[in-house]
Amino acid sequence: MTLIENTAVRHSQATRTMVLWCPDWPVRALAQFEGIPVEERIALVEHGVVFACSASARAEGVRRGQRIREAQAACVDLMAFDYDPALDYRSFEPVALAVEELMPGVQLLRPGMCALAARGPARYYGGERAAAGVLLTALVGLGVEDARITVADGRFAAEQLARMPGETGIRIVEAGGSPQFLADHPIEAVGDSNLSMLLRRLGLTTLGSFAALDFRDVRARFGETGVYAHTLASGRDVRRVVPRLPPQLRDIEVAFEPPLDRVDQITFAFRTAAERFVDELTSALLVCTSIRVELHTDNGLVHDRGWGHPRWFSANDVLDRIRWQVQGRTGAGAGALTSAISRVRVLPEGLDSIGNYETGLWGSTPDDRIHHGLSRVQSLLGHGAVMTAVIAGGRGVVERQVMIPWGDPRGGAGDEHPWPGSIPLPAPSTVFEKPRAVTVQGHDGGPVDVTDRGSLTCVPALFAVSDAGAGVGRVAGAGGMGGGAAHGGGAGGGLAAVERQQPIAAWAGPWPVYERWWDQAVARSFHRFQVVDASGTAWLLALHEHGWWAEARYD
């Protein structure tokens, strides 16, 4: 709002505006998403400070803008979650749609709050109170019981009215009553913290006292921001309601009757829908770069997950994602599908102009070819079967290599930080997916162990890989990475199933590892050794609770 506009419309009347506010919407959205009751003590955290909290948490002393440590100190059983704006918008969309059904011209101020021009609905429903009543009934029908609907001259007054304490659902300030209504509000309501602090120090503690100043003096002293705050404070908020364009829905949904429980049936039934989905996008000159797939099961559960694509989704890619998601949920374990699927919904999350993805004049780039080939393998074996590697930070050899499925963002991984205590270079060329059991013996054939004081009981002299089959146990959590299927080919590369015992030519160690001692569940403590056997192959061994394991091999 520029100065010129302000002066031009200075004397014009603020329009009657209706504001709808659902308090604590982020908390409600999250509680619904996580499946926890909204009465729990919940806080949403953004950048280390509380962004929003539930009413019960507020009763315990949690405040917006508080540091998370202080909030946890105030309320011991606080459940803290990361704030996700996308979730807010997504969950508020049904509410906005329901309001649009009843009254057109909704402006979404933020998730949980929207504004409407009050004149039309008031005339149609026979009065402002009646219109607000209709809206409130509709919201209760959507499960939002504590919504507040306010009508006042101008959006600012209506918002302030909604934020007034109290339980009343419908609040109305009669036409022309806004300046009086606002007069008693504290000066901080103008929203500009620098300005309000200055005004308070000048002795203007309420909006009324600020509004009483002459408009020209305010402009001379505070400039444009001051004039804007002055119009708000004097109840002449001339901002109009700018109705949003109702979004064009591009999501696609197929219901199965009877519900289906086989992957091929589901993908087959979805095929035409997926083609329609992509065709509609193409005709709108759009491509979809990420989607969200929702699987609704017969017993009312919803499994949803987002899928990215390095290029853009074709119909087959969409079907692949649905298939992988269903396959990933089959079998036992947490999050498994417990009943047949009654409905599949695909929502486009990332849309982009098709022009950015046009094939070049001289054909596609070589990387396209690679992507097509690898996607074929992925559709054959599953999303996680084709991977690229990124070197991450860490001390052990296993945690340093992070495998990322093809198509997922590789992230800005890079390991510039020093890792004191990591295994010295060169890196081992074979890193066992699952650690292999080995035996290490002294000259007399006795076991080699490390005492509590960190010294060896005897010099390691003989070494044998006792079992080529992968280690059953875990080397203190080091082997938990893959969990992949047992594969016949293996990495042995000519290694016999059971190897002969051979003398140790050289060795180094023990190098004690004592990690994450502060957390009982993931704490681990063991000793590492490097051993060179008689054939000149070197091994990285770990001694964990009297058992020897090979973590890696330098072959």
The least CB distance from residue 460 to another protein, in Å, is 9
Binding residue (CB under 8 A) for another protein from 376, 497, 498, 503? 376
Binding residue (CB under 8 A) for another protein from 93, 188, 280, 555? 555
Asked if residue 468 binds another protein (CB under 8 A), the reply is no
Binding mask of the shown chain, residues 414 to 453, with x at each position contacting another protein by CB under 8 A? ----------xxxxxxxxxx--------------------
Phi-psi category of 287—alpha, beta or left, where left has phi over 0 and alpha has psi -120 to 50? beta
The least CB distance from residue 360 to another protein, in Å, is 18
Task: Kindly state the DSSP code that residue 552 receives in the 8-state scheme.
Answer: E
**CB-nearer residue toward another protein: 330 or 339:** 330
Instruction: Count other Cβ atoms within 10 Å, centred on residue 201.
Output: 9
Binding residue (CB under 8 A) for another protein from 49, 98, 351, 374? 374
Rounded distance, CA 77 to CA 132, Å? Answer: 38
Q: Where are the beta strands (DSSP E) in 261-308?
A: 286-297, 302-308
The size of the interface with another protein (CB under 8 A), counted in residues, is 59
Alpha helix (H) ranges present in 332-396? 366-381
* Helix or strand holding residue 200 (H, E): helix 193-201
The least CB distance from residue 327 to another protein, in Å, is 14
Binding mask of the shown chain, residues 495 to 534, with x at each position contacting another protein by CB under 8 A? x---------xxxxx--------------------x-x--
**CB-nearer residue toward another protein: 252 or 552:** 552
Instruction: Count other Cβ atoms within 10 Å, centred on residue 44.
Output: 23
Q: Is 80 exposed, middle or buried (0-12, 13-18, 19+ CB in 10 A)?
A: middle
**Residue 344 pairs with which residues in a beta bridge?**
254, 295
Residues in the chain: 555
Asked if residue 390 binds another protein (CB under 8 A), the reply is yes
Instruction: Count other Cβ atoms within 10 Å, centred on residue 551.
Output: 25
Interface segment toward another protein; rule CB under 8 A; list 236-244, 380-388, 518-526, 541-549: 380-388
Question: Inter-axis angle of helices 193-201 and 215-233, to 10 degrees?
Answer: 120
The least CB distance from residue 487 to another protein, in Å, is 5
Binding residue (CB under 8 A) for another protein from 64, 369, 443, 516? 369
Residue of 395, 465, 390 whose CA lies nearest to 435: 465
Count of helix runs (H) and strand runs (E) in the chain: 16, 20
The least CB distance from residue 29 to another protein, in Å, is 38
The least CB distance from residue 136 to another protein, in Å, is 56
Where on the chain is the footprint of another protein (CB under 8 A)? Answer: 369-370, 372-374, 376-377, 380-381, 385-391, 397, 400-401, 403, 406, 410, 424-433, 456, 459, 482, 484-485, 487-491, 493-495, 505-509, 530, 532, 535-538, 552, 554-555
